[in-house]
Structure 1
Amino acid sequence: MILVTLDTRPILVSGATGYIGGRLVPRLLEAGYHVRCVARSPRKLESRGWIRHPNVEVVEADLNDIDAIMRAAVGCRAAYYLVHSMQAAGSKYREVDRRLASNFVEACVSGGVERMLYLGGLGETGDDLSEHLSSRREVEQILGASSVPLTVFRAAMIIGSGSASFEILRYLVERLPLMITPRWVVTRCQPIAVRNVLAYLIGALDAPETAGRTLDIGGPDVVTYLDLMNTMAKARGLPRRRVLAIPLLTPRLSSAWIHLVTPVSARMARPLAEGLRNEVVCRNDDAAGLIPQALLTVQEAIDAALLRTDEQDVETSWSAAGPIPGDPGWAGGEVFRDTWTVLVASSEAAAFKAICRVGGGHGYYALDWLWRVRGWMDRLVGGPGLRRGRRDPENVAFGEALDFWRVTGIEAPEHLALRAEMKVPGEALLEFHVEPADDEAADGESDRLVRVVQTASFIPRGLFGLIYWYAVLPLHGFVFRGMLRGIRKNAEKEVHPSGRPKAWRDPKVHSIRPEQRWRRLTPGTALGAALAPPRSSE
């Protein structure tokens, strides 16, 4: 009799809330592995369908906290390092990456991890390597210098719905029939489909011969970036893009242009733009021999990504990466609030569902042109604007981006909090609360009413912050009234698709009014209390 012992030791995945990590975890679970996710903000994983899988556990740990990551690594069979700090301020991401990688190595060594796996970037070594790719090489060296065998996969552009590189390509092609570009437009690259990247990452676990190896991975096509643009144009049914390549555009100017045209910020676009000058082509096909699979062509990868995008079935997105900001360090001083309320003849669930539809392609229920103008203004001063959109047209999850908002609180069907990431001279928060209002049933009718309370909170920074608040305050009456009117109609149609409820005839249901036009809190007030919306005084 042969006894087969299954290794149930967990696989550690750092960066589980990121683009690759968020797709890797469910595929590891499908393959039968036990997975331990390390997340700085575990709430960002609550909306993932796999979070309730019996073979997954989530550990709250920041890679800056060496003790926490050591505890997370104890007893793990293998560990994936899928963390990059490209969005750190300025060039500090290299310093941050070195520190995080060193902590990760120390944790793996002390925890008895047998294998480490890392996804880095393609590109020849040398003095001309971009700072971004040089940083990735440094991480490789730090990970590889330990006693734990390391498998490194080096990839060029990853083509998949929701990836930053793919979104840059798609927006440039869809919006610009004529482009003035740097000379990197004729640089050769070897893109790879995201599904192929995931297959390599998972396949290496059961391919011991990949331990201690650095493997270049890419698709079957070697193309220029101009070829990529024309392939995208063809997939979109657009004519070939006309490109004028000039030597004058620096990475700084290129990243600023990418920021204006695409959803990606200039801070994130700059390291990507710098890397475009380097040829990124596989030097060998060892990976394909060790972990054989069907590799998608560039055309097939783009078609698959566009299908997911058009069907609004994007599994993970680049825009959800990064920390969730807490209370600002300068909390205190003046906090202003503007609160509006409306009665809705629907259930709490329907009202909350209508609230969660705001933003993205759906718009804001009213005055969308004004929101678009605000988005363009934000892009011009370096903010995200409205181009980030949303990952899903109906649902939002903690930590996700919603245009120039970030979801920082969600308790269905009662509460949604959005923190502004637009460029404003202060901190802005937009909150929605849904609560029963059966005590205000219309003229004794049985139609159920709920109350939707919308609160805008603002902590100004300096004199300009005060000027900004008083400048936008008159617009709230138009914007909030229209938004709440749209939420009410959307929620009531959800519950009463065949006709209007009797409560619609009650004037109180139609009333949209401010509870407190504004409120000023004095210095020393706790920020949490300041930002908590008031309960209705009615």
Structure 2
Amino acid sequence: MRTEQKKRPVVALSGASGYIGSRLLEKLKKSFDIIALSRSGDKRENTEQVTWRSCDLFSQVDTEKGLKGADIAVYLVHSMKPSAKLTQASFEDMDVILADNFAQAAKKNGIKQIVYLSGIIPPEEKLSRHLRSRLEVEKILGSYGVPVTTIRAGLIVGPKGSSFPIAEKLVNRLPVMILPSWTRTKTHPIALADVLTALQKSVGNRDVDNKAIDVGGPEVMTYKELLQNLAHVMGKNFRSVNVPFPTVNLSRLWVSLVSGMPKETVYPLIESLSHPMVASKSHYAEGISDGRVTFEKAAKQALKEEAQSISSSSKKPKIPSLPPRQDVRSVQRMPLPSGKDAGWAARHYMNWVSESLRPFVRTEVDEQLNCKIYLSFMQKPLLILSYAKERSTSHRALYYITGGLFANAKESQQGRIEFRQIPGKQEIIVAIHEYLPALPWIVYKYTQAPIHMIVMFLYRRHLEKLINQREPAPSARKLAGQH
């Protein structure tokens, strides 16, 4: 970092080693000092303008340390890929944890602005999982009082990422395309360069505090027209057959197969294509919303950069990756009875395990809320959960997994289970992080792991029953209203 008496503003950039983050870093360091956050940040070299920090955003402690000393924070994170050897979680629920950690850390560190890259949200009540999650993250980031600027972009035309590479692979690999009705939906592609400009103009710009800004390129087109234009740029003949039905579920499958991209990435994106993804005038910001690069020019540039990247990738020194671990992340969302919080849910869960799994399982909870879980006929506990009082609040109860026959506590000091209330909702996230099982992996995967999911399912059903018992039936509410 610079050491002049008059320091430049400091930007904490999450996802700094990623597709968009690495390019945004180059633009921002001209005017700001950068704290570049990455899971492998300690493996990278610092410069005068850029300090790298290793940061696991699933850890609230890590996130607080990562944002320390920053004035502004940029959030470029999306959890559409598995984050452990075994991931029992939806991307939506993992995104809740990441965003909540980031927002709380920003508040604690006195961050003045969060800039978040999201997707265009159409004015429809029933959104796809992907778009619903993007909107939920936006709300969570702003739930602790730090001003949030959201840049909402549709299909970003760039050499990596997700949507454009999928389109490029479809055009390149399919001699004839079967085009369902969703390919006649409007989309508003935007060049990567224009997205970077929009983000750059928003960072440190207090005029766009607490605003959601739609950005788009100079052309609006259907997905069919986009594929036709891309085929023209690539010098391919475009042959297609229109079909009059949506077939979104079938499309997810064949797009994943043809593109070779993981279903965790493809499925949520394809589900969103039935929505018109066009920038809205109600979310317009002068000098930020209007992208200037045409689709043709952006596509040519993206294909050129991709070709250069492939040819030079073998020559570049590789950044050492994190060593593989046989770790587990399991995240489930559950309803929370009215008037109850995450602290209640954690204590209630420990009692419920003992009562519902009797006579096979018993639990012991001491005055400090530490918990031991046993099989009834065994003297040694299966799991020892140590309550982290200093890291817990009414909205988050945290337990470290510190021992037991089922836990490899010697190898992992950060294995933990948390009960976290989602800001603004009467819902909780129950999550296990960095858990290393003591059982051989194949045994764990086909015994303890599925049993855990069954227990979580049963606890969710239990909470749903509690809520239904407390709520009067519709007829009773109607009668109550008449008196």
Structure 2: which amino acid aligns with 1:76? Answer: A
Instruction: Spell out structure 1 runs of 4+ moving beyond 6 A.
Output: 313-316
User: In structure 1, which of residues 86, 91, 102 is the aligned counterpart of residue 80 of structure 2?
Assistant: 86
Kept in 2: contact 1:23–1:315 (CA 8 A): no
Deviations 1:135-182 (A, max 9, x none): 000001111222111100100000001222111111101111311233
Structure 2: which amino acid aligns with 1:19? Answer: Y
User: CA 1:187–1:176 in 2, change beyond 3 Å: closer, same or farther?
Assistant: same
Q: Which residue number corresponds to residue 103 of structure 1?
A: 101
Structure 1: which amino acid aligns with 2:258? Answer: V
Deviations 1:356-410 (A, max 9, x none): xxxxxxxxxxxxxxxxxxxxxxxxxxxxxxxxxxxxxxxxxxxxxxxxxxxxxxx
Kindly state the Cα deviation for residue 36 of structure 1 after the two structures are TM-superposed: 0.3
Q: Which residue number corresponds to residue 22 of structure 2?
A: 22
Q: Which residue number corresponds to residue 226 of structure 2?
A: 228
User: CA 1:64–1:314 in 2, change beyond 3 Å: closer, same or farther?
Assistant: farther
Kept in 1: contact 2:218–2:291 (CA 8 A): no
Equivalents in 1 of 2:209, 2:51: separation in Å?
26
- How many residue pairs get aligned? The number is 320
User: CA 1:68–1:150 in 2, change beyond 3 Å: closer, same or farther?
Assistant: same
Q: Which residue number corresponds to residue 257 of structure 2?
A: 260
**Counterpart of 1:195 in 2: which secondary structure?**
helix
Structure 2: which amino acid aligns with 1:34? Answer: D
Kept in 1: contact 2:212–2:283 (CA 8 A): no
Structure 2: which amino acid aligns with 1:20? Answer: I
Structure 2: which amino acid aligns with 1:113? Answer: I
Deviations 1:190-219 (A, max 9, x none): 011111111111111243211111100010
Kept in 2: contact 1:159–1:301 (CA 8 A): yes
Q: Which residue number corresponds to residue 216 of structure 1?
A: 214
Q: TM-score, normalised by structure 2?
A: 0.61
User: CA 1:24–1:287 in 2, change beyond 3 Å: closer, same or farther?
Assistant: farther
Deviations 1:437-474 (A, max 9, x none): xxxxxxxxxxxxxxxxxxxxxx9958xxxxxxxxxxxx
**Counterpart of 1:289 in 2: which secondary structure?**
coil
Q: Which residue number corresponds to residue 33 of structure 1?
A: 32
Kindly state the Cα deviation for residue 294 of structure 1 after the two structures are TM-superposed: 6.0
Equivalents in 1 of 2:62, 2:441: separation in Å?
36
Equivalents in 1 of 2:311, 2:105: separation in Å?
33
Kept in 2: contact 1:117–1:201 (CA 8 A): yes
Equivalents in 1 of 2:16, 2:253: separation in Å?
29
Deviations 1:484-512 (A, max 9, x none): xxxxxxxxxxxxxxxxxxxxxxxxxxxxx
Q: Which residue number corresponds to residue 130 of structure 1?
A: 128
User: CA 1:158–1:52 in 2, change beyond 3 Å: closer, same or farther?
Assistant: same
Q: Does 1:53 align with 2:52?
A: no
Kindly state the Cα deviation for residue 291 of structure 1 after the two structures are TM-superposed: 3.5
Kept in 2: contact 1:34–1:55 (CA 8 A): yes
Equivalents in 1 of 2:290, 2:275: separation in Å?
27
Equivalents in 2 of 1:56, 1:220: separation in Å?
34
**Counterpart of 2:78 in 1: which secondary structure?**
coil
Deviations 1:406-450 (A, max 9, x none): xxxxxxxxxxxxxxxxxxxxxxxxxxxxxxxxxxxxxxxxxxxxx
Structure 2: which amino acid aligns with 1:41? Answer: S
Kept in 2: contact 1:81–1:119 (CA 8 A): yes
Equivalents in 1 of 2:260, 2:24: separation in Å?
24
Identity of aligned residues (%): 31
Matches of residues 389-538 of structure 1 in structure 2 within 5 Å? none
In angstroms, what is the RMSD of aligned CA positions?
Answer: 2.9
Q: Does 1:73 align with 2:67?
A: yes
Q: Which residue number corresponds to residue 338 of structure 2?
A: none
Equivalents in 2 of 1:83, 1:132: separation in Å?
13
Equivalents in 2 of 1:180, 1:304: separation in Å?
27
Q: Which residue number corresponds to residue 414 of structure 1?
A: none
User: CA 1:68–1:329 in 2, change beyond 3 Å: closer, same or farther?
Assistant: closer
**Counterpart of 1:312 in 2: which secondary structure?**
helix
Q: Does 1:298 align with 2:298?
A: no
Equivalents in 2 of 1:128, 1:91: separation in Å?
22
**Counterpart of 1:301 in 2: which secondary structure?**
helix
User: In structure 1, which of residues 162, 176, 179 is the aligned counterpart of residue 177 of structure 2?
Assistant: 179
Q: Which residue number corresponds to residue 159 of structure 1?
A: 157
Q: TM-score, normalised by structure 1?
A: 0.55
Q: Which residue number corresponds to residue 236 of structure 2?
A: 238
Kept in 2: contact 1:121–1:154 (CA 8 A): yes
Deviations 1:24-81 (A, max 9, x none): 112212x2310001212226x64xxxx4421111111211211121122222110011
User: CA 1:329–1:69 in 2, change beyond 3 Å: closer, same or farther?
Assistant: closer
Equivalents in 1 of 2:10, 2:280: separation in Å?
33
Kept in 1: contact 2:213–2:289 (CA 8 A): no
Kept in 2: contact 1:130–1:275 (CA 8 A): yes
**Counterpart of 1:311 in 2: which secondary structure?**
helix
User: In structure 1, which of residues 259, 277, 280 is the aligned counterpart of residue 277 of structure 2?
Assistant: 280
Equivalents in 2 of 1:329, 1:291: separation in Å?
42
Structure 1: which amino acid aligns with 2:326? Answer: P
Unpaired runs of 5+ residues, structure 2, are 329-439, 444-483
Structure 2: which amino acid aligns with 1:262? Answer: S
User: CA 1:239–1:285 in 2, change beyond 3 Å: closer, same or farther?
Assistant: farther
Q: Which residue number corresponds to residue 326 of structure 2?
A: 328
